[in-house]
Amino acid sequence: MNGKTLTRSTTDKFLGGVCGGLARFLNLDSGLVRILTVLLAIFTQVGWIAYLVLWAVLPTEDGGPTGFDEAKNAFGQGSTGRSSDRPEHNPDDLR
């Protein structure tokens, strides 16, 4: 299309940067993309699903993490999940 890759914006963002990144990719005004997204969300239920999917899979424009990676880190699942990552339970500890 225009040689650009679709990413989430780190500068033109209101929530997750999806509309800003989509606007840059499509060479449109980000306000227009936001309005269209809200209208799609209200009238077709597609807007919010598409937004969540794009947020989850698109990395930020600076090569940063995807939204899914950010959520994993925010909720403490950023570790490998191995039991060695967690402190051992001491049966004598009554806390």
Per-residue model confidence as pLDDT tens digits over 15-55 = 888 999 999 999 999 999 999 999 988 999 888 888 888 88
Angle at 49 between CA 73 and CA 75, to 5 degrees: 15
Please give the residue that has the higher pLDDT: either 65 or 95. Answer: 65
Residue 95: partners with Cβ closer than 8 Å, 6 or more residues away: none
Over the chain, what is the mean pLDDT? 81
pTM of the full structure: 0.67
SS3 label, residue 91: coil
